[in-house]
Amino acid sequence: MRIIHHPGYDPHFGQQHVFPSVKFQMVRDRLLGDCIASESDLLRPDPASNDDLLLVHTPAWVDALTHGTLTHAQIVRLEVPYSQAMVRAFRLMAGGSILAAQLALEDGVAYNCGGGFHHAFPGHGEGFCAVNDVAVAIRTLQRSGRIARAMVIDCDVHHGNGTAAVFADDPSVLTISLHQFKNYPAVKPPSNVDVHLNNGTGDQDYASILRRVCERTIQDFAPQLLFYVAGADPYEEDQLGGLALTREGLAERDRVVISTARGLGVPVAITLAGGYAQQLEDTVAIHAATAKVAQACLR
C-alpha cells in the first residue's frame, strides 16, 4: 500500500496547541518502524494549486490564505495561528489527498498521512481546518473525468460540517458522518446520512451501527471512490471527544469501512483527521493501526 507524506505537513503549531501537528511525521516514522510501510511505499505530494482549491473554495478565501489577509475574526474562527507554513501545510495535505485518491483508483487503497480537514467551508475555515482537502480531491478527480460518483464516510468524533455544506444538494457525492452529537460543531448542516451518537458510545454499539450504515449505503450508491475520514478522536481517552472506543474498537471500525468497500470493489482513500489523546503516542498508534488494517484488506 502506498503512503503519502511530506515533511511540510507539520506547520509547527507548537506544544501548547491542542492540535498535535507533529503527529504527521510521527505516524510516518511509526509506519516505517513497525514495518507497515517501507521507504519505497512513501510518496511526496505536490501542493494543491489555486485551480484545485477553487473547485471548492471561494476566490476571496483562497486569496486571503495566499496573501495573509485573514481578519482577526477569521483567524479566531480557524483556531490555528496563521503563517505561510500553515498555508503550505494545508496545500500539501490537499495535494496528498488528491494523490491518495488517484492511487486508490490504481491500487484499491491509499493512505494519506494527513488530511481529513472536514470543518473547512467554501468561504471560511474553522476548527483547525483551512482547506477541505477531501472535497478538493473529489472535485479534482471529477474535473478530470476519472470519477463521477464519490462517497465520504467520516468517522471523526466531530461532525463533518464543512464537507456536508460543500456537497449539499449534489447527487454525485454522498456524505456520511458518525459523530458525537453533543460536541463541536454546534451547528451541523445535514449530511446525506448523519448518525448522532450519544456520549459514551462504545465499541460494540459503534461497530454495529457503522456496519449497517456501510453495507446499505455503499452497495446502494455504488461510488467509484470512497474517502474514509479516519479520525483517532472517538478514542476513550481523547481530550476533545466524549465517545468510548478502545484502540481495538477503532481498529474494528477501520475494518468495517475498508473491508466493506473493498468487498464491493470500491477504492478507498484514507485521511487521518483529528486525534487529541492525552498521550500523543496513543493518537499515533491509532493512526498507524488504520494503515495496518488497510494493508491487510489488500491481501
Q: Which position has the grid cell 517501507? A: 38
Task: Give me the pLDDT at residue 15, please.
Answer: 77
131 assigned to some structural domain: yes
CA distance 52 to 35: 34
Question: Which residues does residue 173 pair with via DSSP β-bridges, in sequence order?
Answer: 150
- Number of structural domains the chain divides into: 1
The three-state secondary structure class of 25 is: helix
CA distance 100 to 182: 32
159 assigned to some structural domain: yes
The three-state secondary structure class of 276 is: coil
73 assigned to some structural domain: yes
In sequence order, which ranges of the chain are alpha helices (DSSP H)?
A: 23-33, 50-53, 59-67, 72-78, 84-107, 133-144, 161-166, 203-221, 247-263, 280-297
Residue 36: CB atoms within 10 Å: 22
Question: Which residues does residue 180 pair with via DSSP β-bridges, in sequence order?
Answer: 197
CA distance 191 to 218: 15
Q: What angle do CA 130, 133, 137 make, to 5 degrees?
A: 150
- Give me the domain span that covers residue 100: 20-297
Q: Which position has the grid cell 474535473? A: 143
Listed residue (272, 291, 297) closest to 10, CA to CA: 272
Task: Give me the pLDDT at residue 139, please.
Answer: 98
Task: Give me the pLDDT at residue 179, please.
Answer: 98
What contacts 236, CB < 8 A, 6 or more positions away? 202, 243, 244, 245, 246
Q: Which position has the grid cell 466493506? A: 260
Residue 288: CB atoms within 10 Å: 22
The three-state secondary structure class of 41 is: helix
Evaluate whether 142 touches 172 at the Cβ level (below 8 Å).
Answer: yes
CA distance 23 to 20: 6
Q: Please provide residue 177's backbone torsions phi and psi, each rounded to the nearest 5 degrees.
A: -135, 120
Task: Give me the pLDDT at residue 299, please.
Answer: 72
Task: Give me the pLDDT at residue 232, please.
Answer: 98
168 assigned to some structural domain: yes
Evaluate whether 147 touches 84 at the Cβ level (below 8 Å).
Answer: no
240 assigned to some structural domain: yes
pLDDT digit string (tens) for the chain, length 299 residues: 999 999 999 999 887 899 999 999 999 999 999 999 999 999 999 999 999 999 999 999 999 999 999 999 999 999 999 999 999 999 999 999 999 999 999 999 999 999 999 999 999 999 999 999 999 999 999 999 999 999 999 999 999 999 999 999 999 999 999 999 999 999 999 999 999 999 999 999 999 999 999 999 999 999 999 999 999 999 999 999 999 999 999 999 999 999 999 999 999 999 999 999 999 999 999 999 999 999 999 87
End-to-end CA distance of the chain: 10
83 assigned to some structural domain: yes
Whichever domain contains 245, its CATH number is: 3.40.800.20
What contacts 91, CB < 8 A, 6 or more positions away? 47, 48, 53, 131
Task: Give me the pLDDT at residue 14, please.
Answer: 81
pTM > 0.85: yes or no: yes
CA distance 38 to 56: 34
172 assigned to some structural domain: yes
Question: Which residues does residue 126 pair with via DSSP β-bridges, in sequence order?
Answer: 129
283 assigned to some structural domain: yes
